[in-house]
Amino acid sequence: MTCCEGWTSCNGFSLLLLLLAGVVLNAIPLIVNVIDEDVPFQNPISCYEWWLPGIIGAGLMAIPATTMSLSARKRGCCNNKTGMFLSSLTNALTIIGAAYCLTVSVQALMVGPLICNPQVNGTVNCQFSLKSLSDIDDDDSLDWFLSDSCISSKAPGNSTAGTTTNSWKPPNLDISSKENKYRTIHFSVFLGLLLVGILELLVALSQIVIGFLGCLCGVSKRRSRVV
C-alpha cells in the first residue's frame, strides 16, 4: 500500500467519524426539545439547529467523499488514478458542507439560545435565509453564556441584564433551571459542531492534496488472489 492509499484510507475513516459526530450533535437539541415540549417546532432551543448544520453540512454533504475515500484503498474498486482523482473532487463538496457547518455554528454561538430573548422565543420568528447568517449585531458575543442570566437587556422591564462588570466569574452551569439547561446544551452542541466543521475542512483539504498526488504518481497494483 502506497502512502497515498494509506492516507486516503485514514481520511475516509476520519470523515466517517466526523459526519456521525455532526449528525448526533445536531440531533441532541432537536430531541431535547421534543422531550420537553412534547410537540416539535414549539419553543425550540434555538433557530440554528433547524438549519441542520450537522445533519446536512457536516453529514450528508460529506457522504460522497467518505464513500470514495474508503473505496480508494488497496484492493478497493476505486484503487486507481481515476478513483484518487474522484476522491479529491468529491471533497470539494465536503469543504462546502464544512464551511456551512462552521458559519451556522459561529452565528449560533454569537447569538445564543432563544430562551435568552423571550421576545423571539419560537420558530415563528426564525428567519431561514442566507442573509440572516451574515447579520451579526455588534452586541452579539458570548456574554449570554458567561453571565449569571442570559435574558437579553432588550427585554421589557429588564434594565440590569446584559450589563458588564469588571470582574469575571464562571458561568452558572446548574441545569436545574430550563434557562441554564438550554444554555449549556446550546453552547456544547454548537461548539462541538464548530470543531467538527474545522476538522472536516482540514481532512478534506488534505485529501484533495493527497488525491491529486495519487492521481499523478499512481497507486499500487493489486496482487493476484491466491486460491
Q: Over the stretch 45-78, which tens digit does the pLDDT of each residue have?
A: 888 998 999 999 999 999 999 998 888 665 555 5
Q: Write out the three cell numbers for 133.
A: 447568517
Q: Is residue 54 part of a domain?
A: yes
Share of the chain above pLDDT 90, in %: 34
213 confidence band (pLDDT: 50, 70, 90): confident
Which range of residues forms the domain containing residue 194? 3-145+174-217
Residue 129, pLDDT score: 67
Q: Is residue 139 part of a domain?
A: yes
Q: Is residue 198 part of a domain?
A: yes
Residue 163, pLDDT score: 43
103 confidence band (pLDDT: 50, 70, 90): very high
SS3 2: coil
pTM summary value: 0.80
Q: Residue 150 pLDDT > 70, yes or no?
A: yes
Closest CA to 108 of 179, 51, 148: 51
Q: Is residue 50 part of a domain?
A: yes
Angstrom CA distances, 130 to 51, 103, 107, 148, stand at: 10, 10, 12, 32
Q: Is residue 107 part of a domain?
A: yes
Closest CA to 58 of 108, 12, 8, 94: 94
Indicate the burial class of 10 (C-beta count within 10 angstroms; 0-12, 13-18, 19 or more).
Answer: middle
Closest CA to 111 of 88, 83, 84, 144: 144
Which residues in 116-129 are b (16+ Cβ under 10 Å) and which e? bbeebeebeebeee
User: How far apart (Å, rounded) are the C-alpha atoms in residues 227 and 219?
Assistant: 24
Ramachandran assignment for 167, one of left (phi > 0), alpha (psi -120 to 50 degrees), beta (any other) = beta
Q: Is residue 68 part of a domain?
A: yes
Q: Would you tell me how many other CB atoms lie within 10 Å of the CB of residue 183?
A: 25
- Number of domain units in the chain: 1
Of residues 173 and 109, the one with the higher pLDDT is: 109
Of residues 5 and 209, the one with the higher pLDDT is: 209
143 confidence band (pLDDT: 50, 70, 90): confident
pLDDT (mean) for 26-48: 82
Q: Is residue 223 part of a domain?
A: no
User: How far apart (Å, rounded) are the C-alpha atoms in residues 103 and 56?
Assistant: 13
Share of the chain above pLDDT 70, in %: 65
Of residues 41 and 62, the one with the higher pLDDT is: 62
Q: Which amino acid is at 7?
A: W
Q: Residue 136 pLDDT > 50, yes or no?
A: yes
Closest CA to 85 of 198, 8, 16, 10: 8
pLDDT (mean) for 29-35: 88
User: How far apart (Å, rounded) are the C-alpha atoms in residues 39 and 193?
Assistant: 25
Q: Is residue 168 part of a domain?
A: no
pLDDT (mean) for 184-204: 96
HSE-CB of 12 using CA atoms within 13 angstroms: 21
Residue 158, pLDDT score: 47
